[in-house]
């Protein structure tokens, strides 16, 4: 296959993405501004470089952050700008987590017409089941972008659920992770309730989970990691007054403040 693909960002997500794509698209390269990331990728057998190559398809898997009270899309814009300068006609697939409106804004700013948003759902703990190849949401800028993106992901054997806009695709990722955040926050509140009433939370959780439509998660050491705390904040930028989302964040902060070795669940 003569199509040239470049995966931009060689972190936790970009590394397995480029490894999978390279199995099918032989002219695939990984790119990162970090020499350390590139060296690590090369040691893992990835064709990687700090010099962005000309490509037909750019897959952007760079990190995004919530910093100083606001979403930080700087890495995404930097990748988009560089890709646009090399090949403005390339298909650009955003697999990073984006704030709603990011892809359309960058497409307009850099005069790009082939844009797709297909957020990753990769989960390290069960990569064999929830790795690169799993059902993904796909939104595109226009019909031409959709045709190209569907061809690309179908060739990669990645099934897609197509939506009508890139904004729906962007939001879907935020909604998925925020939904899980809310479930954990509820479990934490129940854990505190059990502590106040001298009850065993794990027993209560197991009892409730016997109902077919209940799936309470564990209440561990607070909601951390790279994704959940960031993504709920991203979603709040679209609806700041949300009492439910703000309440979940407050509950997590309250739970973490009350954690002691005695009341931290061991499961």
Q: Are residues 120 and 231 in the same domain?
A: no
pLDDT-derived band at 260, boundaries 50, 70, 90: low
Tokens of 127: 């990569």
CATH code, domain with 14: 3.40.50.720
Q: Are residues 157 and 197 in the same domain?
A: no
Using the 3D structure, point to which of 164, 193, 214 is the last residue of a domain: 164
Domain for residue 213, yes or no?
yes
CATH code, domain with 230: 1.10.1040.10
Q: Are residues 219 and 241 in the same domain?
A: yes
Q: Residue 255: pLDDT above 80?
A: yes
- Nearest-5° Cα angle at 12, 8 to 15: 50
Calculate Rg over the CA atoms of the chain: 20
Domain for residue 114, yes or no?
yes
Q: What is the pLDDT of residue 108?
A: 98
Domain for residue 217, yes or no?
yes
Tell me how far the alpha carbon of residue 31 is from its chain's centroid: 19
Q: Are residues 135 and 193 in the same domain?
A: no
- For the chain, give the percent of residues with pLDDT over 90: 90
The CA-atom distances, in angstroms, between 189 and each of 15, 95, 182, 195, 222 are 37, 33, 11, 10, 11
Q: Are residues 10 and 25 in the same domain?
A: yes
Using the 3D structure, point to which of 164, 198, 220 is the last residue of a domain: 164
**pTM recorded for the entire structure:** 0.93
Q: Are residues 156 and 42 in the same domain?
A: yes
Q: Would you give the DSSP letter of residue 124? A: G
Q: What is the pLDDT of residue 186?
A: 97
Q: Are residues 26 and 132 in the same domain?
A: yes
Using the 3D structure, point to which of 139, 164, 189 is the last residue of a domain: 164
Burial class (CB in 10 A: 0-12, 13-18, 19+), 180: middle
pLDDT digits (tens, 9 = 90+) for 33-70: 999 999 999 999 999 999 999 999 999 999 999 999 99
Q: Are residues 149 and 51 in the same domain?
A: yes
What residues make up the domain containing 180? 171-258
pLDDT-derived band at 263, boundaries 50, 70, 90: very low
Q: What is the pLDDT of residue 128?
A: 82
pLDDT-derived band at 266, boundaries 50, 70, 90: very low
Q: Which residue has the tokens 């992770």?
A: 177
How many domains, in total, are found in the chain?
Answer: 2
User: Do 178 and 136 meet the contact criterion of CB atoms below 8 Å apart?
Assistant: no
Q: Are residues 37 and 102 in the same domain?
A: yes
Q: Are residues 27 and 150 in the same domain?
A: yes
d(CA 257, CA 65): 24
Count of residues in the chain: 267
Beta-sheet strands, E only, within the chain: 5-8, 28-31, 48-49, 57-60, 65-67, 70-72, 91-94, 115-117, 136-140, 160-162
- For the chain, give the percent of residues with pLDDT over 70: 97
């Amino acid at each position: 296959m003569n199509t040239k693909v470049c995966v931009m960002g060689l972190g936790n997500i970009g590394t397995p993405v480029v490894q999978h794509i390279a199995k099918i698209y032989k002219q695939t390269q990984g790119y990162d501004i970090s020499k350390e990331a590139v060296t690590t990728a090369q040691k893992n057998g990835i064709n990687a470089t700090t010099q962005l190559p000309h490509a037909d398809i750019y897959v952007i898997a760079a990190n995004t952050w919530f910093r100083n009270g606001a979403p930080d899309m700087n890495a995404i814009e930097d990748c988009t700008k560089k890709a646009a300068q090399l090949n403005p006609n390339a298909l650009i697939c955003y697999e990073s987590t984006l704030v709603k409106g990011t892809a359309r804004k960058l497409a307009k700013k850099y005069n790009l017409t082939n844009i797709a948003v297909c957020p990753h759902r990769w989960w390290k703990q069960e990569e064999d089941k929830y790795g690169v190849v799993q059902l993904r949401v796909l939104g595109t800028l226009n019909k031409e972008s959709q045709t190209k993106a569907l061809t690309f992901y179908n060739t990669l054997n990645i099934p897609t659920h197509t939506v009508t806009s890139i904004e729906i695709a962007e939001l879907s990722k935020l909604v998925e992770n925020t939904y899980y955040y809310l479930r954990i926050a509820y479990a934490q509140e129940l854990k505190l309730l059990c502590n106040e009433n001298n009850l065993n939370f794990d027993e209560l959780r197991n009892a409730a989970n016997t109902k077919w439509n209940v799936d309470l998660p564990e209440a561990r050491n607070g909601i951390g990691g790279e994704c959940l705390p960031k993504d709920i904040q991203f979603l709040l930028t679209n609806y700041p007054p949300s009492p439910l989302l703000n309440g979940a964040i407050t509950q997590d902060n309250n739970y973490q403040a009350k954690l002691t070795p005695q009341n931290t669940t061991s499961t």
